A and B are shown apart, each in its own frame.
Chain A
Amino acid sequence: MNQKQQTMFDKIWDAHFVATRVDGRDLIYIDRHILHDLHAPHAFEKLAAATRAVRRPDLTFSMQDHTVATKPGRDENTNPDGAHFQRAMREGSQRNNIRLFDLDDPEQGISHVVAPELGLVLPGSMHAVPDSHACTVGGLGAIGLGCGTSELEHILATQTIALKRPKTMRIWLDGELKPGVGAKDVSLKIIAVLGTAAGRGMAIEYAGPVARALPVEARLTLCNMTIEMGARSGFIAPDDSVFAYLAGRPYAPRGPEWDDAITQWRALASDEGCVFDKDVRVDCSDLAPQITWGTDQSQTISVRDTLPILPADTEARTKLERAYAYMGLEPGTALHGVKVDRVFIGSCTNARLSDLRIAAGIVKGHRVHESVVAMVVPGSTSVKRAAEREGLDRVFKDAGFFWGESGCSMCAGGNGDRGKPQERVISTTNRNFEGRQGKGVRTHLAGPELAAACALAGYIADPRDYLETAR
């Protein structure tokens, strides 16, 4: 019989197919399930009420990240609003025999940052988190699935998720990135070109020279942003750089099993000549640093470009007018030079060690502008310690940055870290929705290079100007 050419997504899906339910959904096996403090307590409660057991506590892990304070020396009461979530998380995890990375654990952090660095997530695996940015781990060649609270409970009870098979999409990234331009710029560009709903019902594979050339941590950044196109998941075929990244990680296979794993992982790539439901190309060769100006991620421009003028079409016009009003900006003017109040470097998008190195490279030897409040919140406690070993904390602190304990922090403000109304925040996070970082807060998303440059300049700045002086 003819072997059909398969996409990487279809291979992983088929390898995790358990059964088809009477309602037509496929039960897909979940290899690793990571919970967090914001949504797990509710599911624990419902599970207990239904007297259902957790099927595979050994494949389940708990992370305190969403509600934790970032203040040095924190404990659960530092953010009083978070204390009951963290306590419920602790109790639920204990009761169900789930390994918890608690507040004081040396490996605590944002789940999407911790799972890769501990080798909890592996290529070819199905990974679920009750958080839409589960797709981050696609950077290692895994399929990350975000889920709701009911689905979380379902996975706890069955170790499977019931889904309809998503369609496949490939985004081929042409070109070569210039200095000062990184994975975040690529992802913002893609959303600007394709729109925030382009990935609906899709699993997106990133391919092409740009995806291949990205270091592993940058691939995690690119895949992290996939959900902002409304996709189910995003991933990149694993290669030697991924294997090198995973080798020796605490939960990664070892010895002969490691060799077997690599053989299987090499076979994951989409077959030559396979067909995607949607196949697009985005040219990144002349890509400049990107920054969002509005209230969704498609409202993105190159940092030196002027803001778009209002279109004639009334529907589109109303939307833009509203974004301009909220952001306090004028169509047709320059974004470069607009005053900045706050800079946040953190989140599961851009707070891994490589991000902090990039930002520190720009900050080193300079001071944060006097009118800017700037903070760095490492993506995990491991990242924090590694950064401290390299002296990055000193670079940031000497410049006037706040250097925090790990957690989600200002990304969604779930721990009380928020901006003030009308404040303009340059943020390395993933959502610039109205009010996301506090009521009336004007969020501009960008990469760590651009955010660092803005902290020094006090206005929206071009990181390439700072690369020059750094050399």
Chain B
Amino acid sequence: MKAFSRLTGIAVPFLEDDVNTDQIAPIPTKRSLKPDYREMFFHRARRHGDDTLNPGQVFNRPQFASLAILVAGRNFGCGSSREGAVWTMQAMGIECLIARSIADLYRENCLQNGLLPIELPDDLASDIERRVIEADGRAPFSVDLTTQIISGPGGADVHFDISAADRMRLLEGLDDIGLSLKHAAAIAAFEHKMQQASPWLQRAVRAPGTEPSR
């Protein structure tokens, strides 16, 4: 995973609450193993009912053609666990999400992919939202994970909180599986212990005579 330390770029406001993963990355009518994630990004929100692009929709406006930060409302990313809803953001260049709150699975998926998820308390969120709306894509914002500071036009620097663990994981771009495999011996020991304590959990074999007839 790539490391995250500092990011400067255009911040786009999308302040609805409860934006779900079906909105962020709708399942396309034509499915493919290698979907076009840019095309998928808020596919429906960016279009009129008749499927033509809505040029007035925020993501379609020219000043938001290249993005770095998405500023969202409450409970962003609720719904399904699909990771495509993070990949579609990254396909648009978004590497930082600032929201009033973020759904659990979605936040997890952000961390997995090196996208910085920031949750701000209401007062700070209102300040950033106002400034991002005023900047309207004409001036960049910066997010620095080392100092935990958001800066940009229209106001003072804003400090954000993130757990030390998540911060380190992003800063070092730690390979998640590699990190866990350091505990391979503990995993093996656990399996041994479980085999003694609850052997039925360490074995998933069907009982003889339970095969269904075809």
Residues on A lying within 8 angstroms of B by beta carbon are 15, 18-19, 21-25, 27, 29, 31-32, 39, 41-42, 50, 52, 55, 58-59, 61, 67, 81-82, 84-85, 88, 106-107, 118, 120, 122, 124-125, 130-132, 146-151, 153-154, 157-160, 162, 164, 196-197, 200-201, 230-232, 249-254, 257, 260-261, 264, 296, 315, 319, 382, 412-414, 421, 431, 433-436, 439-440
Contacts and interface: CB of A to CB of B under 8 A. Distances in A.
Given A52-B177, A150-B113, A250-B210, A319 B17 contact: yes
Contacts of B186: 18-19, 27
B20 interface: yes
A147 B107 CA distance: 11
Given A22-B179, A55-B187, A434-B23, 18 more contacts: A21-B179, A27-B187, A39-B83, A67-B31, A85-B33, A106-B212, A130-B81, A132-B79, A147-B108, A150-B112, A151-B108, A162-B176, A196-B78, A197-B101, A197-B103, A296-B18, A431-B80, A435-B26
Contacts of B74: 197
B31 A162 contact: no
A158 B177 contact: yes
21 contacts: A19-B186, A23-B168, A59-B204, A84-B33, A85-B31, A85-B33, A106-B212, A107-B212, A124-B198, A148-B81, A148-B112, A154-B180, A157-B180, A160-B183, A197-B18, A197-B74, A197-B103, A201-B104, A251-B205, A412-B80, A413-B27
A128 to B, nearest CB: 11
A61 to B, nearest CB: 8
A42 B33 contact: yes
Interface residues of B, number: 67
Nearest to B16: A319
Interface of B: 16-18, 20, 22-23, 26-27, 30-33, 44, 49, 74-75, 78-83, 86, 101, 103-105, 108-109, 112-113, 163-166, 168-169, 174, 176-177, 179-184, 186-187, 190-191, 194, 197-207, 210-214
A18 B191 CA distance: 9
Judged by DSSP, the binding face of B is: loop
Contacts of B210: 249-250
Contact of A253 (B20, B75, B82, B200): B200
B22 A431 contact: yes
